[in-house]
């Protein structure tokens, strides 16, 4: 055999042996890898990781089964409007969301977020492994991450359903939820939810709130540069806070614009112009002055939602500040200011303070439009710097009403039972009866005179004849809320109640007389809608006939004399027919005046929060002065209109 042939044979044997060895090691490697995988799976199982992942998957599916659009539309900023349709308050909690539907969000906003946060948004199904690889590559090559590894859908899942705690379990569940979100909602829906719920620093959630907060303009009024500037903030609200770190926000704005150019979302010319534009912030200021009317509006709105939805008070109160309602009211802000000024000016010389810093001598008042039965103004106290108008005495405080209760609980009821204005009654002191405030007794007088001169003796005798049960039934029919068992006593004829009545209750009672004996439950809510304008409720005032029409007419006629001949003589509205009644409690602790024209009914209370005597306080002093000043201004320019017309 030739030497060359031998060499070839040897080489072939070596190659065969090497191939066999290679195959052996390859198979050995495969076996080793398989063992490692099996071992890892076993270890994964033994340590509970697989069970945890499966549990997270099941939890994510449960979350998505219960998911609805409402999950992304909570914490929306609501709005309150006065009777003229002017915005007077914003309803919000710790979040400040002004929600926009997808078609209300400018396309450049959507493009900006997609370009910087999730380039493959329209291609992936919730979870994008390529984004994670890009983020890692960016971190290695540039020592910074210019685009995050989480998709927009993952960020939405995290913001709405999860916490921001950095744990592998949270990341896994985030991916599961994001994937499920993509199956349940469209890309446009997800982008809408995302843009409305992300945080823009300084309490602003959503692009519209941010636009109004930083530029005092709506988002559709901003330039491309301003839009990109806002879209820079959510990536790191602290680092990119434009009020504190403008330079950081501008750098990220520039990056967004360049990304939009690369993705052909804008032209090179548009990019250059936007990069060159100077950003000038114009932070919004809260121009909505909070008044005593606001606390009453929120109370009425909560009650209206309870009626409409059947839900409890606490739930409706919370939803009022989170569900983006539009609340329309009967409050006239100019009337509100007029009533507030009348109180402040009349009591301006009495500035003694309580230990908590509030004025000691206080007042409250309410005004009802007689045509609609709705509250047009309500004041719960004096104006005082650094004291928030929260404790609204006009509907929260209950005080003994004194003689101002007589027409409601005594005189109008007896007019239904055969008495008239000219009926003879006896003004005389009885052994166990009350005294007249003047200390004088006139004997036989007309019922009209007894009302005009506020004769306590006559009211007491008539209630004994009528019975307290009958007299108080009229108050209960008008929803007086604090009548107690101990109040079924003849002292009720003079307003001697255990708890008392509120200014609003008294005003609604007199408005019943002005409305021919028909009671309407006072409120200031005319309509509540959702953010799309769908009507939630249009409350119809509760009405019921409490007094006979003829009795209400005659009572009104009698009460006109109080302002011309009686305890409030000379305190009427110039050139305008009006009626009313004073009220003063024992030791001059509380002073009241409640009166009405054909147009409006207004009630006023003056006193101390901690009841105490004041010799200068009576229904015929501060209360009627406030009433006259306010009602005179309110009726300026209105044609004279007879009562009972």
Considering only 75-79, 520-524, 594-598, which range has the smallest mean pLDDT?
A: 75-79
Using the predicted structure, report yes or no on whether residue 611 has a pLDDT greater than 90.
yes
Q: What value does the mean pLDDT of the chain take? A: 88
DSSP for 478-512?
TT-S---GGG-SGGGGGT--SS-B-HHHHHHHHHH
> 523 or 76: whose pLDDT is higher?
523
Measure the CA–CA gap between 368 and 365, rounded to whole angstroms: 10
Residues acting as catalytic residues: 117, 403
> 284 or 224: whose pLDDT is higher?
224
Tens-digit pLDDT profile for residues 569-581: 999 999 999 999 9
- Average of per-residue pLDDT across 550-555: 98
Residues 6+ apart with CB under 8 A from 479: 505, 508, 519, 521
Dihedral sign for Cα 8, 13, 14, 19, please.
positive
Task: List the structure tokens of 122.
Answer: 């329209």
Please check whether residue 162 is in contact with residue 173, taking contact to mean a CB–CB distance below 8 angstroms: yes
Measure the CA–CA gap between 67 and 181, rounded to whole angstroms: 9
pTM of the model: 0.75
Domain 375-634 has CATH 3.40.710.10: yes
Nearest to 298 by CA among 533, 89, 559: 89
Give residue 322's pLDDT band: very low, low, confident or very high (50, 70, 90): confident
Please give the pLDDT value at position 205: 86
Determine if residue 538 is left, alpha or beta; phi over 0 gives left, psi from -120 to 50 gives alpha, anything else beta: beta
Considering only 57-66, 332-341, 390-399, which range has the smallest mean pLDDT?
A: 57-66
Please check whether residue 382 is in contact with residue 347, taking contact to mean a CB–CB distance below 8 angstroms: yes
Measure the CA–CA gap between 620 and 547, rounded to whole angstroms: 27
Tens-digit pLDDT profile for residues 347-358: 999 999 998 889
- Average of per-residue pLDDT across 362-379: 98
**% of the chain surpassing 90 pLDDT:** 68
Task: List the structure tokens of 363.
Answer: 């007042």
| Fold entry, domain 95-276 | Penicillin binding protein transpeptidase fold (1.10.3810)
Determine if residue 178 is left, alpha or beta; phi over 0 gives left, psi from -120 to 50 gives alpha, anything else beta: alpha
Residue by residue, what is the 3-state secondary structure of 266-288?
Answer: CCHHHHHHHHHCCCCCCCCCCCC
Nearest to 620 by CA among 566, 548, 547, 559: 566
Tens-digit pLDDT profile for residues 219-258: 999 999 999 999 999 998 889 999 999 999 999 999 999 9
Please check whether residue 322 is in contact with residue 76, taking contact to mean a CB–CB distance below 8 angstroms: yes
Please give the pLDDT value at position 176: 81
Number of H helices, E strands in the chain: 23, 16
Please check whether residue 460 is in contact with residue 490, taking contact to mean a CB–CB distance below 8 angstroms: yes
Element containing residue 262 per DSSP (H, E): helix 246-262
Q: Where are the alpha helices (DSSP H) in 393-455?
A: 393-396, 406, 412-415, 447-452
Measure the CA–CA gap between 457 and 447, rounded to whole angstroms: 12
Please give the pLDDT value at position 139: 47
Please give the pLDDT value at position 134: 59
- Average of per-residue pLDDT across 547-555: 98
Measure the CA–CA gap between 194 and 126, rounded to whole angstroms: 13
Three-class DSSP category at 25: helix
Please give the pLDDT value at position 55: 66
Give residue 543's pLDDT band: very low, low, confident or very high (50, 70, 90): very high
Measure the CA–CA gap between 203 and 77, rounded to whole angstroms: 12
Please check whether residue 490 is in contact with residue 497, taking contact to mean a CB–CB distance below 8 angstroms: no
Please check whether residue 271 is in contact with residue 258, taking contact to mean a CB–CB distance below 8 angstroms: yes
Three-class DSSP category at 33: helix
Please give the pLDDT value at position 23: 58
Give residue 60's pLDDT band: very low, low, confident or very high (50, 70, 90): low
> 163 or 418: whose pLDDT is higher?
418
Task: List the structure tokens of 165.
Answer: 């705690």
Using the predicted structure, report yes or no on whether residue 30 has a pLDDT greater than 60.
no
Tens-digit pLDDT profile for residues 20-29: 555 555 565 5
Please give the pLDDT value at position 422: 98
Give the CA distances from residue 459 to residues 172, 313, 435, 436, in Å, rounded to whole numbers and listed in that order. 78, 40, 11, 10
Nearest to 380 by CA among 359, 400, 401: 359
Tens-digit pLDDT profile for residues 110-141: 999 999 998 989 888 776 776 556 555 554 55
Please check whether residue 551 is in contact with residue 578, taking contact to mean a CB–CB distance below 8 angstroms: no
Element containing residue 607 per DSSP (H, E): strand 600-608
Considering only 38-52, 290-304, 352-366, 385-399, which range has the smallest mean pLDDT?
A: 38-52
Please check whether residue 375 is in contact with residue 331, taking contact to mean a CB–CB distance below 8 angstroms: yes
Please give the pLDDT value at position 336: 98
Using the predicted structure, report yes or no on whether residue 211 has a pLDDT greater than 70.
yes
Tokens 């983006």 map to which residue?
Answer: 324
DSSP for 293-352?
HHHHHHHHHHHHHHHHH---HHHHHHHHTTB--EEEE---HHHHHHHHHHHHHHTTT---
Considering only 64-78, 80-94, 163-177, 440-454, which range has the smallest mean pLDDT?
A: 163-177
**% of the chain surpassing 70 pLDDT:** 83
């Amino acid at each position: 055999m030739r030497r060359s042939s031998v060499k070839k044979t040897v080489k072939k044997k070596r190659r065969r042996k090497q191939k066999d060895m290679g195959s052996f090691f390859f198979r050995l490697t495969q076996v080793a890898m398989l063992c490692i995988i099996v071992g890892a799976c076993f270890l994964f199982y033994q340590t509970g990781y697989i069970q945890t992942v499966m549990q997270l998957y099941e939890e994510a599916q449960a979350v998505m089964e219960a998911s609805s659009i409402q999950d992304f539309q909570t914490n929306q900023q609501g709005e309150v409007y006065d009777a003229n349709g002017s915005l007077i308050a914003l309803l919000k909690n710790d979040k400040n969301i002004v929600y926009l539907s997808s078609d209300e969000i400018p396309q450049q906003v959507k493009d900006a977020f997609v370009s910087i946060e999730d380039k493959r948004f329209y291609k992936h199904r919730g979870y994008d492994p390529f984004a994670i690889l890009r983020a890692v590559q960016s971190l290695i090559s540039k020592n910074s991450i210019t685009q995050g590894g989480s998709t927009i859908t993952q960020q939405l899942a995290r913001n709405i359903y999860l916490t921001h705690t950095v744990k592998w379990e949270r990341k896994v569940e985030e991916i599961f939820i994001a994937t499920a979100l993509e199956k349940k909602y469209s890309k446009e829906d997800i982008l809408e939810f995302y843009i409305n719920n992300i945080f823009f620093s300084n309490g602003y959630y959503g692009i519209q709130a941010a636009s109004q907060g930083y530029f005092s303009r709506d988002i559709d009024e901003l330039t491309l540069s301003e839009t990109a500037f806002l879209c820079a903030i959510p990536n790191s609200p602290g680092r990119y806070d434009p009020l504190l770190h403008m330079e950081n926000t501008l750098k990220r704005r520039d990056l967004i614009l360049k990304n939009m150019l690369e993705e052909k979302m804008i032209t090179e010319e548009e990019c250059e112009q936007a990069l060159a534009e100077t950003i000038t912030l114009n932070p919004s200021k809260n121009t909505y002055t909070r008044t005593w009317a606001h606390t009453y509006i929120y109370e009425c709105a909560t009650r209206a939602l309870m009626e409409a939805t059947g839900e409890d008070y606490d739930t409706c109160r919370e939803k009022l500040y989170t569900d983006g309602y539009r609340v329309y009211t009967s409050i006239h802000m100019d009337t509100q200011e007029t009533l507030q000024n009348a109180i402040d000016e009349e009591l301006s010389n009495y500035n003694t303070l309580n230990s908590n810093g509030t004025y000691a001598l206080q007042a409250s008042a309410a005004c009802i439009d007689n045509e609609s039965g709705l509250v047009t103004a309500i004041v719960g106290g004096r104006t005082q710097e650094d004291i928030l108008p929260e404790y609204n005495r006009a509907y929260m405080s209950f005080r003994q009403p004194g003689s101002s209760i007589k027409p409601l609980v005594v005189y109008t009821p007896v007019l239904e039972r055969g008495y008239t204005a000219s009926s003879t009654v006896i003004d005389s002191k009885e052994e166990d009866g009350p005294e007249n405030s003047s200390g004088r007794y006139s004997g036989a007088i007309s019922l009209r005179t007894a009302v005009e001169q506020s004769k306590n003796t006559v009211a007491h005798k008539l209630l004994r004849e009528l019975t307290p049960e009958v007299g108080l039934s009229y108050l209960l029919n008008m929803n007086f809320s604090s009548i107690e068992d101990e109040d079924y006593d003849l002292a009720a004829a003079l307003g001697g109640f255990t708890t008392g009545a509120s200014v609003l209750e008294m005003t609604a009672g007199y408005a019943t007389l002005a409305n021919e004996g028909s009671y309407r439950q006072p409120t200031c809510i005319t309509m509540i809608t959702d953010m799309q304008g769908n009507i939630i409720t249009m409350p119809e005032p509760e009405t019921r006939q409490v007094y006979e029409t003829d009795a209400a007419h005659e009572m009104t006629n009698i009460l006109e004399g109080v302002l011309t001949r009686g305890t409030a003589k000379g305190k009427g509205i110039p050139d305008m027919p009006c009626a009313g009644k004073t009220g003063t409690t024992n030791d001059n602790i509380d002073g009241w005046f409640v009166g009405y024209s054909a147009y409006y009914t207004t009630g006023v209370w003056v006193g101390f929060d901690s009841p105490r005597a004041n010799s200068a306080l009576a229904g015929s002093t501060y209360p009627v002065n406030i009433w006259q000043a306010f009602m005179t201004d309110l009726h300026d320019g209105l044609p004279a209109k007879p009562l009972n017309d």
